[in-house]
Amino acid sequence: MTLFGLPLALIYSQLLLGLINGAFYAILSLGLSVIFGMLGIVNFVHGVLFMMGAFFAWMLLEWCGIGYWWALILSPAIVGLIGMAIERLLISRLYKQDHIYAFLLTFGLALMIEALFRNAFDSIGRPYSIPELLQGGSDLGFMFVPHYRSWIVIVSVVVCGLTWYSIEKTRLGARLRAATENGPVVQALGIRVPRLMTLTYGGAAALAGLSGVLAAPIYSVSPQMGANLVIIVFAVVVIGGLNSIKGSIVAGFGLGILEGLTKAVYPAASSTVIFLVMAIVLIARAGRLTGRKH
């Protein structure tokens, strides 16, 4: 059977691939959106935090014999602690400065960290095997769905939902939102705002680390694995809304699926379709902001 002249099997497979990419886009864009929306920081180091999550999972397995399931906990925790150190030592000094200073700092820091990993491990990709429990797949008749791909989507949906709920519906989230609106007043009420900011950045970094662990069995673990991805994720955040947690999640999954469908219909445009959507969104929003009609 065909649809628009294309085999349905091809469309289904690209939809699945798009959904997998969308799961990574959603988790990573969620972390970026939290950092920018709550802290006002353009965090270009997010890509290397993703890379470190995958590398620490690989190190735990190769050096310590600690497998995938423990790595899902330990690796994001390590990346989260590194993120907290980065926030306390460097980024916390720039909250009152123009956004360009944080962008330049995180961009330079990302280049430094990537260079350190490249010097230590070279640029060769390292395999990370799928855990035995998630190997194989299910034949649905019209397509074959690998169990590990399904696992990624499930984890992404759960993590994104819990993060959104924590920020929008809990007392901790309310304190965080209040601290970003008026830090001195919240500080006067006895809430330690600097500690809250550090924990927020560390939590967003841990999300990137978790995404890296999930990606390790699919992509080869290398120092460059987060470099191109972070550019796409920035575009996803812009499309979803820089201050919108829900928008980033929806845009992440939606754009991943759109990218997959584009790859089935016109593969040459699959690498640019997200940026095309971003350009359209920016033009539309600029028109509303300036009051002009197009």
Q: Is residue 287 very low, low, confident or very high in pLDDT (cuts 50, 70, 90)? A: low
Q: How many other C-beta atoms lie within 10 A of the C-beta of residue 172? A: 13
Q: Is residue 182 very low, low, confident or very high in pLDDT (cuts 50, 70, 90)? A: low
Domains, in order of start, for the chain: 2-129+147-290 (1.10.3470)
Pick the closest to residue 227 from 242, 212, 239 (CA basis).
212
Quote the pLDDT of residue 294. Answer: 42
Average pLDDT for 105-134: 91
Mean pLDDT, rounded, of the chain: 85
Quote the pLDDT of residue 176. Answer: 75
Quote the pLDDT of residue 7. Answer: 64
Relative orientation angle of helices 227-240 and 273-290, to the nearest 10 degrees: 30
Q: Is residue 11 very low, low, confident or very high in pLDDT (cuts 50, 70, 90)? A: confident
Average pLDDT for 98-117: 90
Contacts of 275 (CB under 8 A, 6+ apart): 235
Cα distances (Å, whole numbers) of residue 99 to 103, 157, 260, 262: 6, 31, 33, 34
Angle at 6 between CA 5 and CA 10, to 5 degrees: 175
Quote the pLDDT of residue 200. Answer: 87
Quote the pLDDT of residue 170. Answer: 84
Quote the pLDDT of residue 290. Answer: 40
Report the Cα 194 to chain-centroid distance in Å.
24
Residue 138 has phi, psi (to 5 degrees) of -120, 135
HSE, CB side, 13 Å, CA atoms: give it for residue 15: 10
| Residues 171, 194: Cα–Cα separation, whole Å | 17
Share of the chain above pLDDT 70, in %: 89
The pLDDT tens digits for 22-33 are 999 999 888 888
Quote the pLDDT of residue 30. Answer: 87
Residue 83 has phi, psi (to 5 degrees) of -60, -40
The pLDDT tens digits for 46-73 are 999 999 999 999 999 999 999 999 999 9
pLDDT winner (highest mean) among 73-82, 84-93, 194-203, 269-278? 73-82
The pLDDT tens digits for 217-274 are 998 899 999 888 888 888 888 888 877 888 889 999 999 999 888 888 888 888 889 8
Report the Cα 147 to chain-centroid distance in Å.
22
